[in-house]
Copies of this chain bind each other. A is one copy, B any other.
Amino acid sequence: MTIEPLEAAFRAAWPIERWADVPIVVGVSGGADSVALLRLIVAVRRASTPLPDGKSDETIIVAHVNHGLRGQSSNDDRDFVLRLSLECQTWCSFLGTALITERFRGRDGLEANCRKARYDFFLEAARKYGARYIAVAHTADDQAETILHHVLRGTGLAGLGGMTMFRAMNDAVTLARPLLGVRRSEIIAYLEAIGQPWREDATNFESTFTRNRLRNELIPQLAREYNADIVPALVRLGEQAREAHDVVEQAARQLADRCVNPSAASDDAAVVIDCTPLVRASRHVVRELFVQIWRDRDWPRQAMGFAEWDALAAIALGEADQTPTRVFPGNVAAKRTGETLELKRRGWE
């Protein structure tokens, strides 16, 4: 028996020791990527722990959400996943139906809402079956699409990092994307090699959503006209952006150690910053310092954009006109007195 190259890549990305015995929810749409993911998980686990005769694997929970957006085709996907799950002898096929109401049918609203419905459902399955992981089938192609989407939207460097292979969803559950380094073409080759069919997702071939237009139009066009290796180029850019952002975050933490004085705060709702050490730091690091303060305090960050973080940096670096107090979104007041900057969330004393 030969081990497929994809199986080797999968084993390297997600060593079996980490998940040999723990329950896993596997998100399976019926498309090539998620069908391959399920087959890989099942194959690797059976190689490690064979199933007794007549038993099914109680720790692999196949989860499928029927958004009901494509009529009979959606139902056929569900039936396909159910059959696949039985063939794989996984214990439970967790089939959900999340109908999306009309008000979410707007371009980004519908897409985002479907995603939220899926993840809520996966988390519910994880809680019910005590799963440690939720495994989803994002590939290097998905990653490249995410990164290009961020480039086009202008979300800046922090957003450019794309998806990570593992991400804690809560204290008990980790989201795993073990195929994130794998090209979609490798997945197709694997499924053909093992004779495993899959369902084509009809919506993938429509260009209704930005994401599908990126996938079906822009990336193929860029590969054709500019760089045949556009997908790995974008993936590498994302990795480098994430690494650089980690360096900036670490520098900001070190800076916080030197300039944030917990004992000087008048009360728990306030942060007192000594601005003297900031002038030798990079402005980028100073902005990140404020992001971290907001995150640590759980102050609302939704309305804080680049302009707001930069305005805080300008005040801290002594560049801003000395307004006695400036109030930022989320009702956080910044007041500079000499070399001291005090941040305080109003109405929360």
Contacts and interface: CB of A to CB of B under 8 A. Distances in A.
Contacts of A226: 152-153, 210, 218
A302 to B, nearest CB: 19
Contacts of A225: 213, 218
Contact of A151 (B237, B246, B247): B237
Given A247-B247, A247-B251, A251-B247, A236 B156 contact: yes
A282 interface: yes
A95 interface: no
Interface string A228-248: 011011101100110111111
Given A210-B226, A247-B251, A248-B244, A237 B284 contact: no
Contact of A244 (B151, B213, B218, B284): B284
A327 interface: no
Interface in A38-75: none
A247 B154 CA distance: 21
A272 interface: no
B237 A154 contact: yes
A188 to B, nearest CB: 23
A243 B251 CA distance: 13
A50 to B, nearest CB: 34
Chain A interface mostly helix, strand, loop or mixed? helix
B282 A240 contact: no
Interface in A172-230: 210, 213, 218, 222, 225-227, 229-230
Contacts of A306: 236
Contacts of A233: 151-154
A283 interface: yes
A154 B243 CA distance: 16
Contacts of A230: 152, 154
A43 to B, nearest CB: 28
Given A244-B245, A251-B247, A282-B250, A232 B157 contact: no
22 contacts: A152-B222, A152-B226, A152-B230, A152-B233, A154-B227, A154-B234, A156-B236, A156-B237, A157-B237, A210-B226, A213-B225, A218-B225, A236-B306, A241-B244, A243-B283, A243-B284, A244-B245, A244-B284, A246-B282, A246-B284, A247-B251, A251-B251
